[in-house]
Amino acid sequence: METITSIKPLLAVLVSLLVTPILVSSRASNVREGWTFVAATAKFLIVLSMLPTILKGTEIVYTVVEFLPGAAIKFRVDALGMLFAIVSSSLWIVTSAYSIGYMRGLKEHSQTRYFCFFAFALSSTIGVAFSANLLTLYLFYEMLSLATYPLVTHHQDLEARSSGRKYLLYIMGTSIGLALPAMLICYNLAGTLEFSKQGFLAGTASKPLLGLLLFMLIFGFAKAAIMPLHAWLPAAMVAPTPVSALLHAVAVVKVGVFSVVRVLTGVFGTNLLLSLDFSPFIIFVASVTILVGSFIALTQDNLKRLLAFSTIAQLSYIVLGVGLLSPKGMIGGIVHIAMHAFGKITLFFCAGAIFVATGKKNISEMIGIGRRMPVTMAAFFIAALSITGVPPCGGFLSKWYLVLGSLEAHQIAILVVLLFSSLLNACYFMPIVYKAFFCRPEEAMFKNTVQEAPLFCVVPLVVTALISIILLFYPQPFFRLASMMVHSITGT
Amino acid sequence: MGDFIQALVAKYNYWIYITLMMIGLYAMIAKNNLIKKIVGMNIFQTAIILFYVSIGVKKGGTLPIIEHGHGAHSHVVHAVDYINPLPHVLMLTAIVVSVATLGVALALGIRIYNRYHTLEEDEILSQIREK
Amino acid sequence: MSQHYPTLLVTVPLLAAFIISAAGWINKRLCFPFAVATLTVAAYSCVGLLFRVLHEGVVHYRLGGWPPPWGIAYYVDQLNGLVLSVISVSALINLIASKRSIEREFPEKIGPFYTLYVLFVTGMLGITVTGDAFNLYVLLEIGSLTGYALIAMGDKDRAPLASLNYLYMGTIGACFYLLGVGYLYIVTGSLNMVDIASILPGLYQSKAVMTAFIICMVGMWIKMAFFPLHGWLPNAYTFAPSASSSLIAPLMTKVMIYVMIRFILTVFTPKFAFSTLAVSDSVVWLAVIAIVMGAIFALAQRDLKKMLTYIIVAEVGYMVGGAWLGNRAGMTGAILHIVNDALMTLCAFLVVGNIVYKVKGYSFEDLKGLFSKMPFTMGAFVIGALSIIGVPPTCGFFSKWYLISGAIQASHYGFVVALLFSSLVNVVLFFRIIEIGYYEPFGDHHGHDHHPEPMAEAPLSMLVPLFIVAAGLVLVGLYTGDIVNHIIQFVIPKGLL
């Protein structure tokens, strides 16, 4: 594998940090948000400028500082990292626009702090995407936890405090209590933490110890919300909706899943996992999370909480796909990072738009809302289809590959899990859409006049919904990256 | 038993310093009065000074002063004939330190007395607790 | 000039202390510039010395030209070069940062305070630079006596008693050390550390040598507040004036850790300490208890300063445990943690100083709304807290990394668990503070009408030093590799794997 050294990954990480002083010092809110856009666009462009190099099969590396042999703060841009970076940096632009509409619409306090930590969180996300070793990944993972804490607890009331506590307890408790010691044990076993195609743990320890390490690393990155460490995610829904949208449907949870994928592919390596037969454990954990998460989602009335449980289930699709260890399954899992991101962010944007326009949070209060906010609810419908995995949306493709992967791995039970969970998805999404548009006039809770949320809220959600559809027809960049990743590790 | 007494007598300087040290330590731990504690501390320090002084001694040694020091006629100096002066010199410094410590301790005692009008530790603590 | 750095850094502050005292009689305002000038010279010499050591190797200096073992010799190698720099720089930063609070807390005693301040730094620097075991005792007592006085200047109700208790314990500790040195002198006839080290190897089986070592260690443990000998520390540091606690808390315990490591590595050999004596396992278990108990006691506190003092007790456990693991990684972690913990503690106590200056209190009640009131101070506090918790890229993470690595290599899993436990407790401790400062007093539901308190930040002369320290925490973290490769690895004997 050819590599070139370039400072671009570092720039991509730092660009949003560099604007924070300007954000803090700017007096006018227009200036502040203008700079947020500048940073978001710059970040996206830097990430995009690396895409051709990556597609050619070259990797970009940059070492910031090495403090132990094999454990440095080092960036390496590969296909998997690229895919994640494109998704998160492009969605930051959309979310920034949405944030303006949402935060101004609700006249939230401390907006400067909000935008600063948002930028900080994005820096950390890109840092995770581009990290070359477990240490760098851990560093940005922790930075992300801390950067999102003020965002989650933005309202600064009692409810925010208890959610913030839960958030930190789960996220930092597991990362310090499980991931950190596991990382140190890995370092002492292998003498390096550098991700490699075939993992670096092969042949270093006995099966029980490796099993323990796998357990510690999968549950240590609790942002992946694998049950039973999922409870922080519904709690974190007290955050303002743009935060929930970007961080809890895209950045934070995806960082968790991304870390787990890196652990499986870069630390252990597929061959080692296959030879030790750890795949059933991963699949089991993921399947349980998928089913239980979907069932709990059925019972929710608060729209954001429903979406949170849906996210928990969908995240495990990714873990499941990679855990199958079959090429098609892995491609499906990795592409699902992108597909789910666009679908879920649209759903959250819709939930936020409804809240801005009507102040309603519960599904039972949204009967007939389609008459008042047709655009929003149409986008909601499209995104729901994408999450369920029905054409004409991008979500169909990733699920299709997951199904193929489970057949390839001869896991018929997994096939059943996938199909049954799609059914459940439809069960909790479609009633919302149905009641929004088709209800008897006396049931409708809203007048028939169209009154959408502010334009800054509506445009982003339309954009992301459209992208969800486009992704069915042009999924090439993501599929190409995912298959490059899978080919490089399986060698096929 | 005879051996034990023999050891006791032969190393009597060590036994003395250990006994003194323990007396001092006891006073510092068990006494309630701050001044008594300070006295205990002083005994503790003195015990160590005595220990140092005693280790300089040699059997048959004399004061380490060279009689014909300023070279009337040079003669060979046998170190064995003189007791070791170095520990004594060190203890001059240690005494200064212990005096200084005592001074600081007494000054603190005065501050405490002025504030609480007592030097009994339990009374002071109960006054603190009342607040 | 530069060949006299080793003596300059002790004699200049020593003599300057008298000048400052005299200047205080003439005009109180003269004291501060004199003190700053003195400590600048000291810091300059220390850092210059460190660089000289890095380029030329160990620096020997004979006071008055007397060759050892008769005269007093100063040895400066990478280890004490590093510690000297940390001491002098943090003392200088704290001096500048605490000017305003000193003027506020005891305007009538500025002269004596700065005299004691500079003398204390003399003591700390002297302990670190000297190569003579008895000289070390004298300087230790210079540092301690001034420390008692500095602490007693605090809270009128509680500080004198706390200081007196510290004095009792401190004296016992110093006397134990002196006693141990006495035994070493009986056996070797020398007080020079290098000289003792060359004579001792033949005598390692002697009971007197073992006794000497253990008595010395106990003395140092008392002075460094190693659990269960920590009783004096929390009250003394809590009730001291903020300028004193931010001086003494970062330095005193760390310097004693340095002395302990110096005795293990230079005066004795690691082989003697870890193999011949066969107590290292018990000491590490003691350290485990220290860490766990320190964390638990810290949880029980209801004010910020006292909580920090118990964290110091736990951190002492880190360093003692790391040093006694008996391997290279553990020792590296312990030495690195001397530097890091000094900076972390300095950062935390400077924050307390700022808070006390503006809010006039440090109990949890006083911290409400501090994030809107003093955002910059609290920002630095968060960085310090992250370092104490051990979040990368702050320096606390990297020393913890080495300590845990060492424990894994030594298969001492109790120590691993204790370190992780303490990190988790630190998360709870610091986020409890952050929660109070961030949420309380509560606004109405959803915080739409959350009226933040108006900003009332500490003066710039307190903020800038605080920022320097906070930035230092991150920089030292990023340069950990260089510190280990260019400094610490030379300190640890090659035999220690």
Q: Does C408 touch chain B (CB under 8 A)?
A: no
Which residues of chain B does C160 touch, with a Cβ-Cβ cutoff of 8 Å? 108, 111-112, 115
- CATH code (residue B26): 1.10.287.3510
A61 - beta bridge partners?
Answer: A5, A76
Q: What is the pLDDT of residues C145-154, one digit of tens each?
A: 999 999 998 8
B&C contacts, CB < 8 Å? 70
| pLDDT at res. C452 | 61
Which residues of chain C does B22 touch, with a Cβ-Cβ cutoff of 8 Å? none
A59 - beta bridge partners?
Answer: A3
Average pLDDT, chain C: 87
Q: Which of C134, C138, C164 sits opposite B34 (nearest CB)?
A: C164
| pLDDT at res. C204 | 81
Q: Which of residues 318 through 377 in chain A touch C, CB cutoff 8 A? A: none
Quote ipTM for the complex.
Answer: 0.90
| pLDDT at res. C470 | 92
Is C60 in a helix, a strand, or coil?
Answer: strand
Expressed as residue numbers, the domain containing B89 is 2-61+79-130
Chains that touch A (3 or more CB pairs under 8 A): C
Touch between chain A and chain B (3+ CB pairs, < 8 Å)?
Answer: no
pTM for the complete prediction? 0.90
Taking each helix axis from N to C terminus, what angle separates C133-152 and B86-116, rounded to the nearest 10 degrees? 10
For residue B62, count CB atoms less than 10 angstroms from its CB and return exposed for 0-12, middle for 13-18, buried for 19 or more. exposed
Which residues of chain C does B31 touch, with a Cβ-Cβ cutoff of 8 Å? none
How far, in Å, CA of C303 to CA of C306, rounded? Answer: 6
| pLDDT at res. C55 | 86
Low-confidence ranges of chain A (pLDDT < 50): none
Would you say residue B22 lies in a domain? yes
Would you say residue B86 lies in a domain? yes
Would you say residue C170 lies in a domain? no
Q: Which of residues 109 through 138 in chain C touch B, CB cutoff 8 A? A: 134, 137-138
Would you say residue C424 lies in a domain? yes
Which residues of chain B does C152 touch, with a Cβ-Cβ cutoff of 8 Å? 108, 111
Q: Which of C391, C393, C446 sits opposite A157 (nearest CB)?
A: C446
Distance from CA of C278 to the nearest CA of A (A): 25
Q: What is the pLDDT of residues C73-110, one digit of tens each?
A: 888 888 888 999 999 999 999 999 988 888 888 888 88
Cα–Cα–Cα angle for A460, A97, C445, nearest 5°?
Answer: 100
Chains that touch C (3 or more CB pairs under 8 A): A, B
Distance from CA of B66 to the nearest CA of C (A): 18
Would you say residue C286 lies in a domain? yes
Would you say residue C296 lies in a domain? yes
Distance from CA of B112 to the nearest CA of C (A): 6
Closest-CA residue of chain A to C432:
A165
**C361 close to C370: Cβ distance less than 8 angstroms:** no
Expressed as residue numbers, the domain containing C359 is 279-497
Indicate if the pLDDT at residue C126 is higher than 50: yes
| pLDDT at res. A110 | 77
Q: What is the pLDDT of residues C245-275, one digit of tens each?
A: 999 999 999 999 999 999 998 888 888 888 8
The amino acid at C235? N
C116 backbone dihedrals φ, ψ, rounded to 5°: -65, -40
Which residues of chain C does B7 touch, with a Cβ-Cβ cutoff of 8 Å? none
Tokens read off for C264 = 């293990």
DSSP string, A351-373: HHHHHHHH---BGGG-TTHHHH-
Which residues of chain A does C325 touch, with a Cβ-Cβ cutoff of 8 Å? none
Report which DSSP code applies to C244: H
Q: What is the pLDDT of residues C31-68, one digit of tens each?
A: 888 889 999 988 998 888 888 888 888 888 887 777 77
Tokens read off for A131 = 């990290």
By C-alpha distance, which of A481, A391, A475 is closest to A53?
A481
The answer to whether C484 contacts A108, with C-beta atoms less than 8 Å apart, is no
Tokens read off for C4 = 């006299």
By C-alpha distance, which of C37, C36, C25, C34 is closest to C111?
C25
Which residues of chain C does A161 touch, with a Cβ-Cβ cutoff of 8 Å? 435, 439
**A310 close to A317: Cβ distance less than 8 angstroms:** no
**C144 close to C222: Cβ distance less than 8 angstroms:** no
Q: Which of C134, C138, C167 sits opposite B105 (nearest CB)?
A: C167
Distance from CA of C442 to the nearest CA of A (A): 6
**Best interface-test mutation with A: which of C336, C401, C467, C476 has the largest number of A CBs within 10 A?**
C401
Would you say residue B66 lies in a domain? no
* Strand-strand pairing, A59-68 and A3-5: parallel
Q: Does C179 touch chain B (CB under 8 A)?
A: yes
Buried b (16+ CB within 10 A) or exposed e, C259-278: bbbbbbbbbbbbebbbeebe
Q: What is the pLDDT of residues A229-279, one digit of tens each?
A: 888 888 888 888 888 887 777 788 899 999 999 998 888 888 888 888 888
CB proximity list for C221: less than 8 A, separation 6 or greater: C173, C229, C260, C320
Q: Does B129 touch chain C (CB under 8 A)?
A: no
Q: Which of B48, B93, B108 sits opposite C175 (nearest CB)?
A: B48
The answer to whether A156 contacts C398, with C-beta atoms less than 8 Å apart, is no
Is B73 in a helix, a strand, or coil?
Answer: coil
| pLDDT at res. C334 | 93
Q: Which run of H or E residues covers position A71?
A: strand A71-77
Whether residue A150 is preceded by a cis peptide bond, meaning omega within 30 degrees of 0, is no
Average pLDDT, chain A: 86
Would you say residue C365 lies in a domain? yes
Which residues of chain C does A188 touch, with a Cβ-Cβ cutoff of 8 Å? 405, 408-409
Would you say residue B70 lies in a domain? no
Q: Does C70 touch chain B (CB under 8 A)?
A: no
Q: What is the pLDDT of residues C1-35, one digit of tens each?
A: 567 778 888 888 889 888 888 888 888 888 888 88
| pLDDT at res. C422 | 93
How far, in Å, CA of C96 to CA of C419, rounded? Answer: 34
Mean pLDDT of C119-142: 91
By C-alpha distance, which of C244, C256, C229, C221 is closest to C114?
C244
Please count the residues of chain B.
Answer: 131
The amino acid at C131? G
Distance from CA of C162 to the nearest CA of B (A): 10
Is A139 in a helix, a strand, or coil?
Answer: helix
**Best interface-test mutation with C: which of A109, A174, A186 has the largest number of C CBs within 10 A?**
A109
Q: Does A73 touch chain C (CB under 8 A)?
A: yes
Chains that touch B (3 or more CB pairs under 8 A): C
The answer to whether C392 contacts A177, with C-beta atoms less than 8 Å apart, is no
CB atoms within 10 A of CB A65: 14
Distance from CA of C450 to the nearest CA of A (A): 7
Closest-CA residue of chain B to C142:
B97
Tokens read off for C273 = 């300490």
Q: What is the pLDDT of residues C342-393, one digit of tens each?
A: 999 999 999 999 998 888 888 888 888 888 888 888 989 999 999 999 888 8
Dihedral angle computed from the Cα positions of residues A27, A29, A34 and A40, in that order, rounded to the nearest 10 degrees: 100
CB proximity list for A153: less than 8 A, separation 6 or greater: A160, A161, A163, A164, A167, A238, A239, C438, C439
In chain A, the percentage of residues whose pLDDT exceeds 70 is 98
Q: What is the pLDDT of residues C304-351, one digit of tens each?
A: 999 999 999 999 999 999 999 988 889 999 999 999 999 999 999 999
Please count the residues of chain C.
Answer: 497
The Cα-based distances of C390 to A139, A327, C244, C315, C454 in angstroms read 11, 39, 26, 12, 32
Q: What is the largest CA-CA distance in chain B?
A: 77
Ramachandran bin of C440, using left for φ above 0, alpha for ψ from -120 to 50, beta for the remaining angles: beta
Would you say residue B110 lies in a domain? yes
CB proximity list for C75: less than 8 A, separation 6 or greater: C58, C59, C60, C61, C129, C131, C193, C194
Distance from CA of A150 to the nearest CA of C (A): 9
A62 backbone dihedrals φ, ψ, rounded to 5°: -155, 125
Total of domains in chain B: 1
Distance from CA of B52 to the nearest CA of C (A): 7
Q: Which of residues 108 through 127 in chain B touch C, CB cutoff 8 A? A: 108-109, 111-112, 115, 124
Q: Does B64 touch chain C (CB under 8 A)?
A: no
Touch between chain A and chain C (3+ CB pairs, < 8 Å)?
Answer: yes
Q: What is the pLDDT of residues C452-493, one digit of tens each?
A: 667 778 888 888 999 999 999 999 988 888 888 888 888 888
CB atoms within 10 A of CB C15: 13
User: Residue holding tokens 């089913």?
Assistant: A291
Which residues of chain C does B25 touch, with a Cβ-Cβ cutoff of 8 Å? 172
By C-alpha distance, which of C273, C314, C276 is closest to C293?
C314
Indicate if the pLDDT at residue C443 is higher than 80: no
The answer to whether B52 contacts C158, with C-beta atoms less than 8 Å apart, is no
Indicate if the pLDDT at residue B61 is higher than 80: no
Report chain A's terminal Cα–Cα distance, integer Å: 15
Total of domains in chain C: 1
Indicate if the pLDDT at residue B64 is higher than 80: no
The amino acid at A428? Y
Would you say residue B67 lies in a domain? no
Report which DSSP code applies to B70: T
Q: Where are the alpha helices (DSSP H) in C201-303?
A: 207-224, 233-239, 242-262, 270-271, 280-300
How far, in Å, CA of C74 to CA of A268, rounded? Answer: 52
Would you say residue B39 lies in a domain? yes
Q: Which of B37, B115, B124 sits opposite C168 (nearest CB)?
A: B37
The answer to whether C408 contacts A65, with C-beta atoms less than 8 Å apart, is no
The answer to whether C423 contacts A176, with C-beta atoms less than 8 Å apart, is yes
| pLDDT at res. A239 | 82
CB proximity list for C15: less than 8 A, separation 6 or greater: none
